[in-house]
Structure 1
Amino acid sequence: MRLSRQGSKKEGPQIKEASDERMAGSGIVGPNQMWTYIVFNEKSEFRQYMFECPIEEDHVKIFLVNMRKMMLDPNMDKPIADRCMAIAQQDITVLEQLEPVLTPSSNTKEFLVPADEPCIKYRKLLSGWEKNGWKIDTKAVQNEQGKKAFAIPSPERKKQKGWVLDKIPVQ
C-alpha cells in the first residue's frame, strides 16, 4: 500500500527527509504471528513482528519484535519502545472490555461489514486448519485438567509407538 505524505510538524528529522510516498503493509503467518512494515524511504523504515503465545484458551501472551533502519541512536530505544506500547495500549483498552472473549463458532451471530474482510479471511484460514484436525478440543482438555498432561502431536508420533504422553485431543 502506498500512502501520501501527511507532513507533521512533530516528525523527526529522518522522517522529514522521507519521500512524498510511503509504503506500508501487514499480514499474517499462521494463526498467531503478524507482521507489519512502514517504509519512508530506502534508509528509513520500521518492521514489526508480533507473536501470540497461548497461555489458556482465553489468554495469550504477546511478544513484539520492533526493528528499524532509522533513529538508531541508543537514546531512541526507550522513546520508540514507549511509542509502541502507547499504540498497543489503545488496542488493549478496547480488547480487555470485549465480550464474548472467544470468537463465536459461526459468524451468523455477528454483524460484519466490508471493513471486516481481513477478519473474515483470517477465520476462513483458521477453518481450513480446523478441517485438517488442527484445532485443540479445549473441552476435552479441561475435563482432564489437573489429572493428565498432553503433548502436541508431531510427525514422529506416526512412525514410532510407545509415547508416554497422549497427544492433545483435537477436533
Structure 2
Amino acid sequence: WGRSEWRFTSNIYTVNANIQRLVENTLDPAHTEFVHPVMGFRGEKEEYRLDDLELVETAWGCSSKTRSVDTPNAVGSVKREVQGGSAKTETNTGHFGPNATYTCIHFSPKAWSHQYAFVTPIDQYTSRRFFIQGRNFALDATADDRMNTRTWDIIEQDRVVIEKILPVLTPSRASEEVIVPADQVIIRYREFLADWASRGWLIDYDAIMAAGSGKAFSIPSPARRNSKGWALETTPMVASPSIGDVAAE
C-alpha cells in the first residue's frame, strides 16, 4: 500500500449469503475453472487438472498454493507481460481469522494481482464484503475503470452461484457434502472455526433472534471484564461448536 509500483482499487457490495459461504468460495481453488470464463478454460480443456495443493499453516488460518496450467485468455497488460508464452498462473489463497481472506495471483513472473477481502455478517443470510485489489501492471489511473469492470464481472459470476447454494448454511458434518481433494483448505478453515467456537467466540444468532426487536446487545470487549454497570448485555455466544465440526472422517 502506498508504493508507486502498485495500484489499488476497492469494491464494497452485499451478497444474500452466509458469511462462511463467501469465505469458502474465495478459498476454493477449483471453482475458478467452472465459474469465471476469463480466468478458467470453461471446461473445454479436458486434461485440465489442479496441481497438488501445498497447504500452509499460520497461527490464525491457512492457505493453499497452486501452480496451474497455462495462463488462459490473457488480455491487455497481462497479455503483454506473458508475451505469448506458456506462463503458469501461480496462486496463494488463504484466510486470517474467520472473515478475512487474501488471494495472490501471479499471471506471469511480472504481472501480479494481490486481493484482500473482509466479510462482515449482516445476519445469517446476508453479508457485506469489502474488497481491495492491488496490481503491479497497468499502473495508470486511467486503467482503474477497466479493471473494476472485470472485477464486477467476476463478483457477479460468484454471486450467481453463492446465492443459490443449498443448504444456505454450511452442514455440520463433512459427510453431508461432496468433498474433493481440492477442498482441503476449506476443511482446515472449518476446523479453525470449530476451535474458535469451542473457545466461546461464536455469536448465538438464534438467541439474538429469540430476544426480539426490543432487545439490543453490545459487542464483547475486554473492558467489560474490568467494570460493571453496563446498560447493554453482551452479545450471547455459543459455548460449543455448532459450525465447522466437519473434519474429514
Question: Secondary structure, in 3 states, of the residue corresponding to 2:237?
Answer: coil
1:1-171 to structure 2, matched below 5 A, reads 1-3=66-68, 5-6=70-71, 8=73, 11-13=75-77, 15-18=79-82, 20-39=87-106, 40-42=108-110, 44-171=111-238
Question: Secondary structure, in 3 states, of the residue corresponding to 1:66?
Answer: strand
Identity %: 35
TM-score of the superposed pair, with normalisation by structure 2: 0.62
Q: Which has the larger radius of gyration?
A: 1
Which 5+ residue runs of structure 1 have no aligned equivalent?
A: none
* Counterpart amino acid of residue 71 in structure 2: Q
Question: Secondary structure, in 3 states, of the residue corresponding to 2:149?
Answer: helix
Question: Secondary structure, in 3 states, of the residue corresponding to 1:67?
Answer: strand
- What's the offset of the Cα at 1:13? 4.4
Change (3 A) 1:146 1:54: same
**Number of corresponding residues:** 169
- What's the offset of the Cα at 1:115? 2.3
Question: Secondary structure, in 3 states, of the residue corresponding to 1:128?
Answer: helix
Q: Which has the higher contact order (CA 8 A, sep 6+)?
A: 2
TM-score of the superposed pair, with normalisation by structure 1: 0.88
- What's the offset of the Cα at 1:27? 0.6
Question: Secondary structure, in 3 states, of the residue corresponding to 1:17?
Answer: helix
